[in-house]
Amino acid sequence: MTTEASLFYRFGVALFIGLLIGLQREYTADQYGIREGRLSMFAGLRTFSLMALVGAAAAMIADLLDAPWAFVGIIVPLGLLIAVGYYVTASRGDAGMTTEVAALVTVLAGALAYWNQVVLAVALAVITTGLLSLKLELHGFVERLTREDIFAVLKFALITAIILPVLPDETFGPPPFDVLNPYTIWLLVVLISGISFLGYVLMKLLDAREGITLTGLLGGLASSTATTLSFAQRSQKHAEFSPSFALAIMLAWMVMFVRALVEVGTVNRALLEVVWLPMALAAGAGLLYAVYLYFFGRREDDHEQVALSNPFELSTAIKFALIFTVVLIVSRAGEYYLGETGIYLSSLIAGLADIDAVALSLSELSAGGDGLELTMAARGVLIAALANTVTKGGIVLATGTPALRRALLPGFLLILVVGVVAGLLLL
């Protein structure tokens, strides 16, 4: 039975939704409407609030009459009024229908609030307000997209929604091939592709040209190795920015540690509880040095963007799947034939090339009660992370300017020392 207090609560949520979206629409009209010569707007703060309340009231009437058509009978005339409003604004030269669609969402969100779907209703309101508020940013994001970016999105949808569901979720063969599960392998390919693609999208959305520091953070999410190589090469032409480049590279390395922990936690929460502290200490050491560079070593950021291509391609995904499969088999074979030494050796060698494959393979091998021992797996992940850091440090030493090497070397050594000591004491 619906109490009076519950009714006031639901209608109050509906009113809040209308106020939130209406406030944004009216603010936008005040900011841009006068500038564009508009004398009036379709709906503002009061109208949106009333629309949300109409949605809640229509839902209540339908429940009281036990007649869903009563809800439709109320909403349809309101929809016609919105259509008339669009016709009027379009006849004045404003053919956009964003406000009208937002009005429909407001009405439906108000109805959801009455039907006690409060969390969903509020989420819709927040998302709608966010999309309305990010008009300029989203348009700028679209302008920076390329044809290759669009195809990359389609390819990502292909491997996620079409390929993944049809793969068998079972293992095949005797040890060390008993770890090969096509569904699991491809699921982890989707995870890595998604993380890299997210970093690339954020760089497009936030426009990392605004500063080297932001580029380092987002570039580390997309590819810390590519970010390191790009800044090291750029230091040859802009040696005066070497401290800033060192800061960006250090931040990219820190994001790599966090990224590896996210990957581990996604696959094996128990392993995350073991490995997070030494990994966090190594990353924290680098972060402290990055803070030093930020306040004392860097120059003002320039406005050049790191040259990162779209990280998602089908060929890239397939290559990672093959690398991950090889690392998985080698790690399992090392454990099976050489024990602890085999795990550490395979982690060291594979980590020089790719931390993601090692983190995911050891997480998979240590999942379950009869899998690889957690401490051994944690050591392998840490070894791989430090080995990958050595690779990127080597890139800087080989391609960076002397100024970049001098700026980055103390932080590089600090990460390695803290990582090794943390591993010895905690694992």
Listed ranges 94-98, 120-124, 144-148, 295-299; the one with the highest mean pLDDT? 120-124
Q: What pLDDT score does 166 carry? A: 87
User: Is 305 a residue whose pLDDT tops 70?
Assistant: no
Between these two residues, 42 and 258, which has the higher pLDDT value? 258
Question: Among 327, 337, 422, which Cα is nearest to 365's?
Answer: 327
Our CA angle for 290, 291, 294, nearest 5°, is: 85
Summarize the confidence of residues 65-87 as an average pLDDT.
Answer: 81
Q: Distance (Å, rounded) from C-alpha 376 to C-alpha 80?
A: 66
Query: What's the pLDDT at 31?
Result: 66
Which pLDDT does position 384 carry in this prediction? 92
The predicted-structure confidence for 358-413, as pLDDT tens digits, reads as follows: 888 888 888 876 678 899 999 999 999 999 999 899 889 888 888 889 989 999 99
The amino acid at residue 29 is: A
Name the pLDDT band for 272 (thresholds 50, 70, 90). Answer: very high
Q: What is the pLDDT of residue 164?
A: 83
Query: Quick check: 278 pLDDT over 90?
Result: yes
Token pair 């080698």 is found at 330
Write down the residue that tokens 């990958």 correspond to.
388
pTM above 0.75, yes or no: no
pLDDT band for position 414 (50/70/90)?
A: very high
**Mean pLDDT lowest for which of 11-20, 64-73, 104-113, 321-330?**
321-330
| Distance in angstroms (rounded) separating the CA atoms of residues 86 and 94 | 9
* pLDDT tens string 138-178: 777 777 777 777 877 787 788 888 888 888 888 777 767 77
Structure token digits, residue 202: 């954020």
Decide: 421 and 285 in contact? Cβ < 8 Å.
Answer: no
> In this predicted model, what pLDDT tens digit does every residue of 190-234 receive, in sequence order?
877 776 677 667 666 665 444 667 777 777 777 788 788 878 887
Lowest average pLDDT, out of 103-117, 321-335, 404-418, goes to 321-335
What pLDDT is stored for residue 343 in this prediction? Answer: 85
Average the pLDDT over 94-122 and give the result.
85
Model pLDDT, residue 257: 94
Q: What's the pLDDT score for residue 33?
A: 54
Is the model more confident about 347 or about 317? 347
pLDDT > 70? residue 302: no
Q: Are 357 and 323 in contact, with CB atoms under 8 Å apart?
A: yes
For position 149, what pLDDT does the model report? 75
Asked if pLDDT for residue 344 goes beyond 80, the answer is yes
pLDDT given for residue 35 in this prediction: 43
Q: What is the pLDDT of residue 39?
A: 46
The domain segmentation of the chain, as residue ranges, is 4-133, 141-426
- Candidates 363, 385, 387; CA nearest to 374 is 363
Q: What is the pLDDT of residues 10-59, one digit of tens each?
A: 899 999 999 998 888 888 776 665 444 444 566 678 888 898 999 999 99
Amino acid making up residue 268? N
Check if the beta carbon of residue 312 is closer than 8 Å to that of residue 155.
yes
pLDDT of residue 290 exceeding 80, the answer is yes
Portion of the chain with pLDDT greater than 90, in percent: 22
CA–CA–CA angle 173, 167, 384 (5° rounding): 65
